[in-house]
Structure 1
Amino acid sequence: MNNYTKENHKVNRYSIDDFLNSESIMYNSLSYKGDKVLYSSDKTGVYNAFSVSIQDKVIKQLTASTENNVFPVSYFPNDDRFLYLSDKGGNEIFHLYVCNENGEVTELTTDEKERAIFYSWSQDGQSFFYGSNKRDPRFMDVYEMSVGTFKSRVLFEDKEGYEFGAISPDKKCIALSKVINSNHSTLYLYDVETGETKCVSKGEGEFQSQPQTFSQDSKELYYLSDEGYEFLYLKKWDTVTGEEQVIAKEDWDIMNARFSKQFTYLLYSTNVDARTEISILDMRSGQKVQMNDVPVGQITSIKVSQDEKTISFLLNSPTSPNNLYAYNLESQEMKPLTSTLNPSIEESDLVKAEVIRYSSFDGLEIPAIYYKPHLVEGEKAPALVFVHGGPGGQSRLDYNLQFQYLANQGYAILAVNNRGSSGYGKTFFKAADLKHGEIDLADCVEGKTYLQTLAHIDADRIGIFGGSYGGYMVLAALAFRPDEFKVGVDIFGVSNWERTLKSIPSWWESFRDALYQKLGNPYTQTDYIRSISPLFHADKITKPLIVLQGANDPRVLKVESDEIVEILEKNQVPVEYIVFDDEGHGFTKRENRKRGYEGIVTFLDRYLR
């Protein structure tokens, strides 16, 4: 650990090991007694299931996987068993498992190629609903599984490419949506008893309809819509009378909504300028519940206990990883349950994230998140323009280990939410349709221009990096705007859209046409698709590049990275290539993240410092 002085106090430099020795946790489920919380943690090197007692904060490890990640989804409603999902080496073919109180595990979805998704519990807690593509790898059928026998029955066979939304408490109706394109989805109801599926969307033009939950009496469906509005808002529809009512409308997208177990509270999340805000609506009074002593940060993954006395949630900020909290609705006591930041790291040494906006080439305002490193007076920092995944993703005000590590090493980061990003209204979201690699890339170049206006940035040392779609943008920048950025960091980025769009995972079938309408049809628009694919223009790349790739990635195949690296090596362009044999679309194992993040910093120190 090295120190340097900033404004009369010392700021510590930390190694990647220091950062990785912070714990990463996700998910959150309250036990049936409401006395402990189930979650996933990577403290063992891969993600495993853990529980923490609310009363005394005692933590217990529940699974002991050494190779594949364990992602718990829920405690059982009437005992301490729990369900979890796990795949193999990041291949995204998740299977569903149950773990009992003694740590004994039973695999519930056993077909080798069967992909499963947990949906919800039945109202009586005697069964749960899940999706499986074992009948047809393209579509997720809806199943109900008994917790007494672990035998399942098919409730709905999906032969058209629907997305599951919710099932009514009386189990007679399933709400579905059908994606028409990335800007338009329609609402359907399936009658379990008659087998009839009918479209119930009304209105003209393109708008989203996303089912969320049913009322306690099963008669009202709550769903999200952006009809006649820039943002998604919450409505309810009476399935008997046809009457509709707006429940919540914000100046930003409402992302999801659901009821507590006894339907006393309606909880919904809003995407407020790249930060999640939680609203808890008391259905008895119609008023929002105000929690006391909430720490600074954003709440995610909020749950309510079955007796509706306790709330558990995850909270993070740009300088603090996820931590679990419990809040007692009666006593109004807030209790932290975990402390995940490595105690050897001073939080004041980490950098704050600032939401900024800059004008793009055509005057459109582009939102971004800026991470300014701690600098001594007069020092000028190298910088990176970061591009998120997607298309249609969003950089958010979460804790980002990689950003903090880079900033601690002296690199400034501008995480751009270029046009085409979600979270800023439907007009902004669709502004890059069939213009990807062009108009959104121009927004990123203008991000570099913005950085060059900052006195503490070295205008000649600005690179670009990103993962997945963001990795594609890195390759596009180096191929189509070869003089703009000094280096590129490509993390499993698409180099050939023609191949990628033809080889998307089978379980993405319902989104296939939407992707084609956003990016182009690889069968009918070949010339256009190749015009935006960096692989066919790789001879124009002259700047140093580092590429990271998971060998088991089902979305961006390894060949996408292999071929771009091969061409650059042939053309004697400086290129480094790191492959993880046991990872997929994203790197989750601690040893792999260490190797990858250290490799990126070593590369940047060589070519950008």
Structure 2
Amino acid sequence: MRKLVQILSLFVIFSLSLFSQTYTIEQYLNIKSAGAPTVSPDGKFIAYLTDITGTNQVWKVGISAGCPEQLTFFDERVQFVSWNPKDKYWILFGKDLGGNERTQLFLLKSDGSEIKRLTFKDDVIYNFGTWSDDGTMFAFTSNERNRAFFDVYVMNIKTGKVDLIWQNDGNNYVVAWSPDNRYILVSQNRSSFDNDLYLVEYPSGKAVNITPHTQPARYMNPRFSVDGRKIYLLSDEGKEFVGLAYIDVKDGKLNYIYSTNWDITTFELSKDGRRIVFVLNVDGYSEVYSLDITTGKVVKLGFPSGGIVGGLRFTNDGRKLIFTYQSPVKNQDIYYYDFVTREVKQITYSSTAGIPISSFVEPKLVRFKSFDGLEIPGYLYLPKNAKKDSSLPVIVSIHGGPEAQELPRFSALYQFFINNGYAIYAPNIRGSTGYGKTYASLDNTTKRKDAIRDVAMIPEFLKTTGYIDPKKIVVYGGSYGGYMTLAAVTFYPDLWAAGVDLVGISNFLTFLKNTGAWRQKHRMAEYGDPEKDAEFLKEISPFYHVDRIKAPLMIIQGANDPRVPKSESDQIVESIKSRGGVVEYLVFDDEGHGLAKLKNRIKAYKAVVEFLDKYVKDKKMGL
């Protein structure tokens, strides 16, 4: 009996040591992921992107078996990859320089032996669209003629000949090509919640709008039916939530197939046209369904739960569906679902850098009522064995967009801070997607202050949980989340112990003037017109109210950022310093809108950790 007690005691001690084990920020940032799968025409391989080397590069692996093989070896990130639908020997990919988003296009031999550059103007953006059905051509858009607009082009990959198909002063993207190669489908985007689809005849360039509408609506992810008579797509025309629909090419009528009180986030059509698989977004978590096009029957599939499914790609025989999966406690990898055996099998195995999965923490989905009674959902992460003694520092993480949604994704950074004694609260404040068209519009233009007030309500809500030290609340975010960070510490200065802003907007007037020419109208639709709304934009811009800031700030910026230019960070840093405020500033000369390179992520987030430990974690209660 004594021996048994000793063994049990040793087991308890060992278990507690596992829970108390901490790991370095370098380890967490070396956790890898795999995504963006594209399937070879013979169905034997996938090409995909993974950051094993520190930036996303193209890799290849057999679907059923085989060792992963690296195909590209750049210092810069690869942005996308697409396998030729008919020629197993060629893969298309895109790459920019230093995060500047001026994407250039390349052809890659599928054994990695040859790379052909296809575009050669480094100051121009080339947006890949889709392949022709026979794989001899691909359609793309480019702002070569005018940096504010994207025209439609077609390139023949054998001859290299490029033809301008549709010249149009709009924000255009190629989204599909009909099976008979007769029509290229183009999405013209006016805002994040309003676009039209144009059928552009190839090669004449004659264009017809097939989605005329009066109220804002989205028409997304279109796919031609096998016979080319229908276009399957996602839409919220006349609806609160995004549903699955089709447009009859002949009469242009929109017909809904499936809709509910949650958004459908993505879908894929099998190559034989008999099956659609779609993903439902239920409070951020993915549910996957199969729809039989002939019978209309919908069946829920046995996919992994508790996380996010994406990257859907059928093999040509329709038997397997390739997909990506991640959850708060599982870094993203690529899997397949077999429709015959109904089994899910993992294809890629991304490293967790020696950190046990058992140490990762799941969040709780919680809601609080904002100033006007609106319920705000969010994810609360607590360290293991957290106690209700009001002692935890917390990071309030605001997502970017704003037309986006905080999801139960894997975040190495979240898990690092949780493992080191911080709580994380990641809300979907008003203006977020995933909760209906009305909710997403509640922060538009002059309603921006209401979204800021949502953030200001969070500290009081967190106090009620019993876990949080009210003197140790940090606000953190990137891009639009960076703006909300700056706005929070400016307009509600007494609530925050510190703020961390990555590539955030500080002044809407200068931002709308200096952001990429192709983005200006799109952003005005969300934030306001700098001429008509100048006074209001000044009112909500932190730059004009720097004197109110009390909390220490850390600001991180990429020098090549085309979305939120470096000048946005420069000007507020200079203003804070001139007033004697506390601000630490890191600029990365080889980055854009965010940090793509591992060495830079390590440098930046080590600095963030030191900053927060100095100003927040080690701060004494009540001081």
TM-score (norm. length: structure 2): 0.91
How many angstroms apart in 2 are the aligned matches of 1:120 and 1:529?
A: 39
1:38 deviates by 1.0
1:357 and 2:367 matched? yes
Which residue of 79, 83, 92 maps to 2:92? 83
Structure 1 residue 580, shift from structure 2 partner: 1.1
Aligned to 2:409: 398
Structure 1: gaps spanning 5 or more residues? none
The residue matched to 1:222 in structure 2 has which SS?
strand
Q: Is the 8 A contact 1:487 1:544 kept in 2?
A: yes
Contact 2:331 2:352 in 1 (8 A): no
Q: CA deviation at 1:465?
A: 0.7
Q: Give the letter aligned to residue 249 of structure 1.
A: S
Q: Please, which of 43, 55, 58 is the counterpart of residue 34 of structure 1? A: 43
Deviation at 1:493? 0.8
In the alignment, is the contact (CA less than 8 A) between 2:165 and 2:204 conserved in 1? no
The answer as to 2:114 corresponding to 1:92 is no
Q: Which amino acid aligns with 1:170?
A: D
Instruction: Compute the displacement of 1:406 (Å).
Output: 1.4
How far apart, CA to CA, are the structure 2 residues paired with 1:202 and 1:72? 31
Aligned to 2:200: 190
User: Contact 1:535/1:563 (CA < 8 Å) preserved in 2?
Assistant: yes
Work out whether residues 312 and 323 of structure 2, in 8 Å CA contact, stay in contact via their aligned partners in 1: yes
Q: CA deviation at 1:242?
A: 4.6
Residue 136 (structure 1) shift: 2.4
Which of 131, 140, 148 pairs up with 2:141? 131
Q: Indicate which of 312, 315, 321 corresponds to 1:305.
A: 315
2:262 paired with 1:252: yes
1:57-103: CA deviation from partner (whole Å, max 9, x where unpaired): 411111111x2112342122222321111000000001111111242
The one-letter code sitting in structure 2 at the alignment partner of 1:87 is D
Q: Percent identity?
A: 34
Alpha-carbon distance, 1:525 to partner: 2.2
Q: For the structure 1 residues 4 and 480, does the alpha-carbon distance in structure 2 shift closer, same or farther, using more than 3 Å as the test?
A: farther
- Residue 545 of structure 1 is matched in structure 2 by 553
Report the equivalent of 1:215: 225
8 Å CA contact 1:175–1:211 kept in 2: the answer is no
Instruction: Please state if 1:534 is matched with 2:542.
Output: yes
- Quote the Cα distance in structure 1 between the aligned partners of 2:191 and 2:94: 29
Distance 2:405 2:311 in 1: 18
Counterpart CA distance in 2 for 1:38 and 1:44 is 16
Instruction: Look up the SS of the partner of 2:445 in the other structure.
Output: coil
* 1-structure distance, mates of 2:277, 2:441: 28
User: How much does 1:202 deviate?
Assistant: 5.2
Q: Secondary structure at the match of 1:331?
A: coil
> How far apart are residue 243 of structure 1 and its match?
4.6
The 8 Å contact of residues 130 and 174 in structure 2, kept in 1 or not, is answered as no
The aligned amino acid for 2:290 is I
| Partner secondary structure for residue 438 of structure 1 | helix
The corresponding residue for 1:59 is: 68
Amino acid at match of 1:406: F
In the aligned structure 1, how far is the partner of 2:14 from the partner of 2:112? 52
Given the superposition, is the C-alpha separation of residues 144 and 375 from structure 1 closer, same or farther in structure 2, using an over 3 Å criterion?
Answer: same
Cα offsets for 1:327-384 (capped at 9, x unmatched): 3333334321222242521112111122211100110001111111224546521012
Secondary structure of the structure 2 residue equivalent to 1:483: helix
Alignment equivalent of 1:319, drawn from 319, 324, 329: 329
Question: For 2:511 and 2:612, how far apart are their aligned partners in 1?
Answer: 28
- Equivalent residue letter for 1:56: A
Gap runs ≥5 in structure 2: 1-11, 618-623
* 1:448 counterpart residue number: 459
SS at match of 2:23: coil
Q: Which amino acid aligns with 2:245?
A: K
Query: How far apart in 2 are the matches of 1:49 and 1:194?
Result: 35
My pick for the range that moved more, 455-464 or 144-153, is 144-153
Alignment correspondent of 1:439? 450
| Alignment match, 1:523 | 531
Residue 604 (structure 1) shift: 0.7
Partner of 1:481: 492
Which sits farther off after the overlay, 107-116 or 287-296?
A: 287-296
* Distance apart, 1:16 and its partner CA: 1.0
Distance change >3 Å, CA 515–CA 327, structure 1 → 2: same
Cα distance in 2 for residues equivalent to 1:244 and 1:475: 43
Please, which of 62, 65, 76 is the counterpart of residue 68 of structure 1?
76
Q: CA deviation at 1:183?
A: 4.2
Which deviates further from its counterpart, 285-294 or 232-241?
285-294
Query: What secondary structure does 1:10 align onto?
Result: helix
Residue 345 (structure 1) aligns with: 355
The answer on 1:235 being equivalent to 2:233 is no
**Alpha-carbon distance change, 193 to 492 in structure 1, aligned in 2, over 3 angstroms:** closer
Q: What does residue 505 of structure 1 align with? A: 516
Paired with 1:105 and 1:200, the residues of 2 have a C-alpha distance of 38
Residue 620 of structure 2 corresponds to which residue in structure 1?
A: none
Does residue 601 in structure 1 map to residue 609 in structure 2? yes
Aligned partner letter, 1:26 = G
For the residues of structure 1 that align with 2:63 and 2:321, how far apart are their CA atoms? 11
Q: Counterpart amino acid of 2:418?
A: A
From the superposition, tell whether residues 142 and 252 of structure 1 become closer, same or farther in structure 2 (CA, over 3 Å): same
